[in-house]
Structure 1
């Protein structure tokens, strides 16, 4: 059954599953965002026999597991990669960021937007792919799942540990001295604490 979901409800959608580190997958040892999201898409399909690929699927922006609402550049790139990966697996995707009209400007003609006032008020969707990111000592853990909105039933899950070396443009090893809640802490060596999230380096 399809239901109408509002834009605000989508923005609050996230994962609450506890992130548990898993063994490092060989496919991501020298990979980037594309390889990580492709592997997640494959795992989501592999471990579910009840997915209906013909039903509209919305890919929400991944969030940090601690608060289920903070995001960053890595999360935005993961979302775009998961959209590509799920579409290539044959899913019927819905793009939330398509505006009601094309904006013609001197810089170019634009249809995508993150301004909620320019987006459709309601979208017909039955399934949402939500993900969380958890920082670990030498990398991150990504948990993804597809949820049926009419019943909140989880129909597929995937979990992936990504080492820091696989995403050097987004992840930085912890330094000898780190700041936490306004206080400085000294580790015994570099890399002894959780990795740090960075914006994409140019």
Structure 2
């Protein structure tokens, strides 16, 4: 490698060369010679080589992040899995509806024998336990998001929580209910979207499927893993409300 620097107005060039063999009488691989360009165009070499340090390796210079990490290690030595010890990012662009969108996309991608004319209801997702009737904030909100997401794919979604009529009260007019006696007497559905949630220290595994009500056949299935900090944010909002 040759480095050339032109100095004005002296009209000479200083050239540094790492010597890998014998050049102009210099055989050391650890020295730099100086080359001079005269006014007559002739290049002459300085008789005395200039020694240079060996720079064959890469040198890393620590910065503030290294010093900060070192201080953290001195306080708490040993590695800890952040997900198992309350990991929570300062900021995240991910929301629960993003995971609902991913679920809907996988369900429609894997769907068989499902047409746009089929009436589909969306039920709450429940914990995978003996009763299969224990839902959570995550399970209820996920089913609500899936209504809109599946409709975007052209499915005919049925809301079976619709009451038999509108209830007018001083604080509002209501048509949705969870009271079984107040529900509409008959709701036509061909399929239902349901699923289970499995919780661990890192987050929640959601297993979703679309099942035919006629023959109980699973016509589509999908799963997604939702990190713990997403679920914890949902629980904080629910506790405030």
Return the alpha-carbon distance in structure 1 between the equivalents of residues 160 and 193 of structure 2.
Answer: 13
Ranked by relative contact order (alpha carbons within 8 Å, sequence separation 6 or more), the top structure is: 1
How far did 1:168 drift?
Answer: 3.3
Structure (1 or 2) with the larger CA radius of gyration: 2
- After superposition, give the CA deviation of every residue in 1:7-53 in whole Å (9 maximum; x if it has no partner): xxxxxxxxxxxxxxxxxxxxxx7422211111110110012243212
Match of 1:7 in 2: none
1:121-132 to structure 2, matched below 5 A, reads 121-132=185-196
Residue 201 and residue 39 in structure 1: after superposition, are their counterparts in 2 closer, same or farther (change >3 A)?
farther
**Across the two proteins, how many residue pairs are aligned to each other?**
149
Match of 1:158 in 2: 222
Return the alpha-carbon distance in structure 1 between the equivalents of residues 144 and 124 of structure 2.
Answer: 9
- After superposition, give the CA deviation of every residue in 1:70-113 in whole Å (9 maximum; x if it has no partner): 01222111110111111111110110111111111110111111
How far did 1:167 drift?
Answer: 3.4
- After superposition, give the CA deviation of every residue in 1:156-190 in whole Å (9 maximum; x if it has no partner): 00010111123331369xxxxxxxxxxxxxxxxxx
With the length of structure 1 as denominator, give the TM-score of the two structures: 0.68
Return the alpha-carbon distance in structure 1 between the equivalents of residues 179 and 129 of structure 2.
Answer: 26
RMSD: 1.9
Return the alpha-carbon distance in structure 1 between the equivalents of residues 118 and 97 of structure 2.
Answer: 24
How far did 1:121 drift?
Answer: 2.5
Match of 2:197 in 1: 133
How far did 1:201 drift?
Answer: 4.5
Match of 2:163 in 1: 99
Match of 1:34 in 2: 97
Question: In terms of mean alpha carbon deviation, does 48-57 or 34-43 score higher?
Answer: 48-57
Q: Which runs of 5+ in 1 are unaligned?
A: 1-28, 173-197
Match of 1:115 in 2: 179
Return the alpha-carbon distance in structure 1 between the equivalents of residues 168 and 232 of structure 2.
Answer: 36
Is 1:144 aligned to residue 208 of structure 2?
A: yes
Q: Which runs of 5+ in 2 are unaligned?
A: 1-91
Secondary structure of residue in 2 paired with 1:199: helix
Give the structure with the larger strand fraction.
1
1:1-202 to structure 2, matched below 5 A, reads 30-67=93-130, 68-170=132-234, 199=238, 201=240
